[in-house]
Structure 1
């Protein structure tokens, strides 16, 4: 059976017994959330900044899209000072069932709520929004079809007009054999978040690339048990592709975002106080245990902002204040 990649990804990741409805993501790949509680602390500082900008309303939202095992939502809630925690409404959004050990204060839903006042975080969510793949031929772009049982591919029909327009604007292909991941469903998914943001900030964090540096062969990949594997959409592995965050930003602006900032995780986290700076060596003599704790934290911070690793992620921040 031949399917478009978008249909195959949808079934493999979210269909009956799909990968994300069956597996714990932390068992298959490392994320910023799982790497260190420092990440949740940085998100808390972002939340405090939004709370201040909104004038400390009676209720402040934190909405975690693609919440997975609830680690980020739980981490922010645990680190929040009492005054903020008493006003904080935390919601995890995921198609998977509510994690068994999630704190009772955290809500859980399959769809993004309306009327958000606060901060939305979508950490490594958009890269798992299914997309079609197109390949350039002598006659123009053609959709790539896949056999979900083994990953074999063949060319199908031309993309629909809206997707051809998206390719022309956001991922133009020139040479025969070049491939592109058609990001229009991700633009729509992100725009649907912005329209639900009454006041506050929405942040998307993901593998990304800019329009002037798209990879000519695409970025489709599979992950299982912490290792890269062939992206066979049979439900046995994660299927992911990098995100055209600049296209998502434009969609967010059309949906009503008032401000937009595109940066890297390294730059964003450094602005939130995550520097990776090592403690002074003199502390090792006066406070050896404190020195070791500070050294361990510096190592965790360094991983989160490493340019060649997690620090290279793209951050898209849009506000409606």
Structure 2
């Protein structure tokens, strides 16, 4: 089929592709066209489109070897909190240490470790707190595994990469910006109240969005969560719920710290949020077209934290806390890590303050990002939720 870049209108402002990127996109487009051809009725549900564009071996966004993390000057597509400043990991260490001591373990399991920035700051901080962690990483991208290995090797720490979930785990689980990258179902309520699922078809040698009657499983899940809003489009992350449900099987003792952008359900499915939360990122350009540059751009959706908390409870886990990233970091002592003593020069202090401002500001990451803690066998109140716990809003 024709390269979608040349056969459909792209969002304005996106930078042009270099020859190598165009060649990669063409390969991804051929792969996706074949997936659509094999799908029943030539209709590929959106969650499968998102899975293939992000995770297809050697082709998907997270499986191919392009630069994903870092600032615009580094050619990345987005910046995560650990990439922004090591103060994030150093502050998180206080909460991780409390969980490890409460669970009688020194094991940390990080999902989706990205460039390894969080582990690179967290491991030394845990050492400073008297803990030599056994650090385990679950990473689907072979490319990112290599980057993580290179970044973490100088620490000479006990770091290992897992190919499968553990049968049983005791310790602290960390997932920073993981759930938002899990494939979601897209849906739309029709004017007559019928529920439709959105997916992708090939139309006139181009990818196009289409819709069909929602399958029973999707319809049941949504009808339990929200009324029918005619014309309303949004998404539901059943894969993240399945992931948390599985955690109920393998988390024997300890806690999981889930850090991501999102809302409680009453805000997520608010009538005024009629186009959902789906967002795409390409070289620090944010837009809402998931069909543009397949395999080269990130696709994300915000997290329904009510759904995650409910699923945890159904899986036999305890919901230990829910709050904003700003409140969580302040509770964990972020301000004590600022380099404000005489040993820090003016430039270092200014950069640290700017990063902290972004972590805490309501206009930046402080309010949009939330922290949800789910646990088993941990009795003590968690440090990060001592003030400003919002579980009552879930």
SS of the aligned residue for 2:262 comes to: coil
Would the alpha carbon gap of residues 276 and 63 (structure 1) be closer, same or farther in structure 2, given more than 3 Å must change?
Answer: same
Are 1:36 and 2:36 an aligned pair? no
Matches within 5 A, 1:7-22: 7-16=48-57, 17-22=59-64
Are 1:173 and 2:267 an aligned pair? no
Correspondence for 1:73: 119
Q: CA deviation at 1:298?
A: 2.8
SS of the aligned residue for 1:302 comes to: helix
**Cα deviation per residue 1:114-148 (whole Å; 9 max; x = unaligned)?**
32221111111111111111100114111012248
Correspondence for 2:140: 95
Q: TM-score, normalised by structure 1?
A: 0.88
Matches within 5 A, 1:30-179: 30-54=79-103, 57=104, 59-81=105-127, 84-86=130-132, 88-97=133-142, 98-99=145-146, 100-101=149-150, 102-103=152-153, 105-137=158-190, 138-147=192-201, 152-160=208-216, 162-175=217-230, 177-179=231-233
Matches within 5 A, 1:183-262: 183-213=237-267, 214=269, 215-229=273-287, 230-232=289-291, 234-262=294-322
**Structure 2 unaligned regions, length at least 5:** 1-35, 37-42, 70-75, 378-394
Q: CA deviation at 1:262?
A: 1.7
C-alpha separation between the residues in 1 aligned to 2:316 and 2:295? Answer: 36
Q: Confirm or deny: 8 A CA contact 2:279 2:301 kept in the other structure.
A: yes
**Cα deviation per residue 1:247-270 (whole Å; 9 max; x = unaligned)?**
011101111212332211111111
Count residues in correspondence.
310
Q: CA deviation at 1:292?
A: 5.3
Query: Which range moves more in the overlay, 183-192 or 34-43?
Result: 183-192
**Structure 1 unaligned regions, length at least 5:** none
Q: Confirm or deny: 8 A CA contact 1:61 1:117 kept in the other structure.
A: yes
SS of the aligned residue for 2:197 comes to: strand
C-alpha separation between the residues in 1 aligned to 2:331 and 2:318? Answer: 21
Q: Aligned to 1:313, which of 352, 369, 380?
A: 369
Q: CA deviation at 1:191?
A: 2.0
Q: CA deviation at 1:68?
A: 1.9
Would the alpha carbon gap of residues 95 and 288 (structure 1) be closer, same or farther in structure 2, given more than 3 Å must change?
Answer: closer
SS of the aligned residue for 2:167 comes to: coil
Query: Which range moves more in the overlay, 228-237 or 240-249?
Result: 228-237
Q: TM-score, normalised by structure 2?
A: 0.72
**Cα deviation per residue 1:232-279 (whole Å; 9 max; x = unaligned)?**
272121111111111011101111212332211111111111249988
Q: Confirm or deny: 8 A CA contact 1:132 1:144 kept in the other structure.
A: yes
Q: Confirm or deny: 8 A CA contact 2:185 2:238 kept in the other structure.
A: no
Are 1:25 and 2:68 an aligned pair? yes
C-alpha separation between the residues in 1 aligned to 2:162 and 2:108? Answer: 13
Are 1:264 and 2:321 an aligned pair? no
RMSD: 2.4
C-alpha separation between the residues in 2 aligned to 1:131 and 1:235? Answer: 16
Would the alpha carbon gap of residues 198 and 14 (structure 1) be closer, same or farther in structure 2, given more than 3 Å must change?
Answer: same
C-alpha separation between the residues in 1 aligned to 2:212 and 2:246? Answer: 29
C-alpha separation between the residues in 1 aligned to 2:236 and 2:163? Answer: 24
SS of the aligned residue for 1:155 comes to: strand
C-alpha separation between the residues in 1 aligned to 2:226 and 2:334? Answer: 33
Q: Confirm or deny: 8 A CA contact 2:328 2:371 kept in the other structure.
A: yes
